[in-house]
Structure 1
Amino acid sequence: MPFEIKPQQRTSTKTWALILSVYLVVSIAVLWLVPGWISDVSLSGLDAPATTTAVVAARTSAFQSTLLGLGGFLAVITLLITVQRDNTNRQRLDHERQKHDADVKAQRDQLNHLKKTQALEARKADNDRDATVTGRFTQAIAQLGDETSIAVRLGGIYSLQRLANDSAKDLETVVLVLAAFLRESAPERETGKPTFGAPPLATDLDAAGAVLGHLSHQRDEDALGLNLRGVDLHGSDLDGVNFKKATLATANLSKTDLTDANMWLARIHDANLRLCFLDGAQMENVRGERVDLSFTYMRGVKLSGGQLVRANLRSATLTNSQLKRTDFEGSDLRRAEFWGSDLTKANFRNTRLEGAQFENRGRSATGWTVEQLAAAGSWDEATAWPEGYSPGEPVKKYVGK
């Protein structure tokens, strides 16, 4: 609201106006009467009659004295008016400052209220969303556990996928649930004896594997560490799946497309990966004793630091791959192809190299040493050694089963 002059301030202003008016009237009267009176008084004390010059001088002096007196009195009145005006201005400024402070406080209070309201609404929205997600999750789990209808289970699988896409914070939970479903649904098989010629994968298992693979893409930078021990996903399309630190021991992944899969530090002991496509896969530091990788395509695979001890890599294609420090000890590498690959510090102790191809049409494996290749357990005339290496007569000194 604008500054208002208080009643006492208006009264004071009128008073000063009246005083000035009176001052003007009195000043005129004083200037008219007082100088003559003063000059008469000053001249009356003379012994001789005053001359005209003395009278004029006396009247001029009296007039000046009167003007000085009136001027002083006017100065006092002006000073008092100035003080009054300053007080009025100060009161106006104080009022405006108080009003500004009040407006700022009101705006701040309004903003704080708005923030609190928004926070409450956001919390309510989160609670509502969580309640909705929980309801959807519960319903999907119930569908997934239905033992009477594969269609109902498929509905549960795709409901979980939709839930994970809608709620990023629930993605990992959904992936873990699908992994558990695959574990519980996997048929039993004897460890170390992969199943060949298995019938097509059940539709719900295939769908669960596909959804799990798709969702794992969204966490490419994270090691989900999935427990997929003993699962059956043979023949599935898991291109680019994230199996970082996953446990795939005894799993059946035969004929599965794992192109560009991330299997860093995965554990694949006793798993069946026969006839898989692992081209371009990241398998650094993978652990896989007795794993079956026979007839598998592993072109351009990154297998540095991996352990494939006593593994079956018969007729596997490992061309143009990174095999630095890979441990093949005791493995069956018959007719496996290694040309174009880096074999720096790879371990071929007691391996079977009959028909293995380290060189093909002028393209040879690199990084090898004589000691590495000489440590092999057996080879034959069909073994194509890298250029520059000549082991002599075929030797069959294989130690193992």
Structure 2
Amino acid sequence: MSDENTSSPEQDAKRGHKALGLWPMWYALTACLAAAVSLVVITWFMFNWLIGSPPRESPKPLDITTQLELAKLAFATVAGLGALVALVTGYRRQRIDEVAQILARKTAGDTAHDATERRITELYGQSVEQLGHEHAAVRLGGLYALERLAQDKADHRGTVVSVICAYLRMPFLPREIPADSYRGGTYHRYLREGLNRAAQQELQVRLAAQSILRGHLVHHQGSDKTKFWPGVILDLSGAELIDFSLQECKVFMVNFEGARFIGYTGFLTAEIGIADFIGSTFHGAVTFERAALGHAANFDGSQFKGTADFKGAVLGDMAVFARAVFSEDAIFTRARFKGSAYFSVAKFAAMANFTEASFKRAVFNGAEFSGRATFESAQFDTGPELAGATASYPENNHIWPDRWRTESAASDGMAPLVNSE
């Protein structure tokens, strides 16, 4: 060991005094004695000044009584000095004891914290390892262990949610989903019939993962607020989600870019701050009825292969449905678009129902309405934009915004919309 890492006892003592905020003993005693002598001298002179100094007289021999009094005064002075030394020593001892207790409590707290963090790290590592196990029961155990960790330790919730989302983002289903697999009830029936035993077990694990997420995001008047995880960000981009539901949930941000929703998908009365559904596909009915999509909702290029229900939904600063494809009914009855709503080049293969919807700005340029379209009682803060939009013709049941109508049909049976102004 080098000399730089060694230190003498004197150096250690100096560092200890500095840490405790104490002076060296000789320095403390010297300072106390000097202060005491100064106080006595000042007190003597102040006393003489207040009562007046007695006139000087010729000195007289000291009698026995006076000598005894002087001796008592000397002993009292010595006793006072001893008491002062004892006081200084006692203070230092008390100070050292107090600091020692504080350090002991801090050390105990640090030890307990380190032990807790060590247990959490071990539990987290074991749980993540279980998610990769070949047996579904072990994977389920890992999921529920992570859930318990996140519930007990709020600081780890973001990490746990990210792990569960990463698990759901792993591929599971074939890329091609049969067209009739999602019709009539949930997707479970098709999976039970079409998947082998191992895949059926994996389905149960994935459904449990989805249930865990929803269970801690439910937020309504009667829900258990102690189980709610606020400020959660769900990154489920590219995930395969089966009978997925965030009904009555409150989420800060979701990323479903490129995700596939199989079976029934529910966002009924959900509250989502930022919702990214770019390029997502809904293989089944989906409902956003009375949902609140606060800041931005982006469905650019999304495909809705089942009914898309946005009845009474509130969409915030921006709602993008550009290039979206609605294969079944698109229901936006009484929906409120508080910002700009973009349906440019969107395709409505069945009914497009915007009855009593309200728009701040509505852009339907290049949209295609192959089924019935109705904007009955719809309200627009500014005139709707329908340049280049086309609709099926003849169709006498279309209800367009004021001053818009269809012209004669082209060879493909679609008629352009024109403004009568």
Specify the TM-score bucket, using the shorter chain as the normaliser: 0.5 to 0.7
Cα contact 1:288–1:309 (8 A) shared by 2? yes
Q: Which residue pairs with 1:164 in the alignment?
A: 150
Q: Which residue pairs with 1:357 in the alignment?
A: 374
Q: How does 1:151-300 map to 2 (within 5 A)?
A: 151-190=137-176, 196-197=182-183, 199-200=187-188, 202-215=203-216, 218-221=228-231, 224=233, 226-236=235-245, 239-240=248-249, 242=251, 244-252=253-261, 254-259=263-268, 260-262=270-272, 264-272=274-282, 274-278=284-288, 279-282=290-293, 284-293=295-304, 294-298=306-310, 299-300=312-313
Deviation at 1:303, TM superposition (A): 4.5
Deviation at 1:85, TM superposition (A): 6.9
1:146 to 125, 128, 133: 133
Instruction: Give the AA of the match of 1:115.
Output: I
Instruction: Say which structure is richer in helix.
Output: 1
Deviation at 1:348, TM superposition (A): 0.7
Secondary structure in 2 matching 1:244: strand
Instruction: Give the AA of the match of 2:204.
Output: T
Q: Distance in 1 between matches of 2:101 and 2:283?
A: 60
1:377 to 375, 378, 390: 390
Q: Which residue pairs with 2:352 in the alignment?
A: 336
Cα contact 1:246–1:263 (8 A) shared by 2? no
Instruction: Give the AA of the match of 1:312.
Output: V
Q: Unpaired runs of 5+ in structure 1? A: 1-69
1:321 to 336, 357, 368: 336
2:318 to 301, 305, 325: 305
Q: Distance in 2 between matches of 1:321 and 1:75?
A: 110
Q: Distance in 2 between matches of 1:398 and 1:87?
A: 120
Deviation at 1:145, TM superposition (A): 2.3
Deviation at 1:287, TM superposition (A): 2.9
Instruction: Say which structure is richer in strand.
Output: 2
Correspondence 1:111 to 2:126 = no
Cα contact 2:325–2:346 (8 A) shared by 1? yes
Deviation at 1:317, TM superposition (A): 2.6
Deviations, residues 315-366 of structure 1 (Å, cap 9, x unaligned): 233223225212111112452333443322221111134523322xxx5323
Q: Say if 1:270 and 1:237 are closer, same or farther in 2 by CA, change over 3 A.
A: closer
Q: Say if 1:94 and 1:236 are closer, same or farther in 2 by CA, change over 3 A.
A: same
Cα contact 1:273–1:296 (8 A) shared by 2? no
TM-score with structure 2 length normalisation? Answer: 0.64
Deviations, residues 251-286 of structure 1 (Å, cap 9, x unaligned): 225422223142614243132274222232326333
Q: Which residue pairs with 1:135 in the alignment?
A: 122
Q: Distance in 2 between matches of 1:345 and 1:79?
A: 110
Q: Say if 1:94 and 1:243 are closer, same or farther in 2 by CA, change over 3 A.
A: same
Q: Distance in 2 between matches of 1:121 and 1:84?
A: 55
Deviation at 1:369, TM superposition (A): 0.1
Cα contact 1:349–1:377 (8 A) shared by 2? no
Q: Distance in 2 between matches of 1:369 and 1:227?
A: 37
Deviations, residues 167-195 of structure 1 (Å, cap 9, x unaligned): 2222222212211221225313249x896
Q: How does 1:120-131 map to 2 (within 5 A)?
A: 120-131=107-118
TM-score with structure 1 length normalisation? Answer: 0.67
Q: Distance in 2 between matches of 1:88 and 1:129?
A: 61
Q: Distance in 2 between matches of 1:144 and 1:240?
A: 26
RMSD: 3.9
Secondary structure in 1 matching 2:330: coil
Instruction: Give the AA of the match of 1:367.
Output: D
Q: Say if 1:146 and 1:71 are closer, same or farther in 2 by CA, change over 3 A.
A: same
Instruction: Give the AA of the match of 1:171.
Output: R
Q: Which shows bigger deviation, 281-290 or 83-92?
A: 83-92
Q: Say if 1:381 and 1:263 are closer, same or farther in 2 by CA, change over 3 A.
A: farther
Instruction: Give the AA of the match of 1:154.
Output: L
Correspondence 1:366 to 2:391 = no
Q: Distance in 2 between matches of 1:323 and 1:312?
A: 23
State, as a whole percentage, how many aligned pairs show the same letter.
18
Cα contact 1:280–1:301 (8 A) shared by 2? yes
Instruction: Give the AA of the match of 1:106.
Output: R
Cα contact 2:187–2:262 (8 A) shared by 1? no
Larger gyration radius, structure 1 or structure 2: 1
Instruction: Give the AA of the match of 1:272.
Output: F
Q: Say if 1:267 and 1:257 are closer, same or farther in 2 by CA, change over 3 A.
A: closer
Q: Unpaired runs of 5+ in structure 2? A: 1-56, 192-202, 219-227, 409-413
Deviation at 1:204, TM superposition (A): 1.5
Q: Distance in 2 between matches of 1:300 and 1:140?
A: 39
Deviation at 1:208, TM superposition (A): 0.4
Q: Say if 1:280 and 1:92 are closer, same or farther in 2 by CA, change over 3 A.
A: farther
Instruction: Give the AA of the match of 2:112.
Output: A
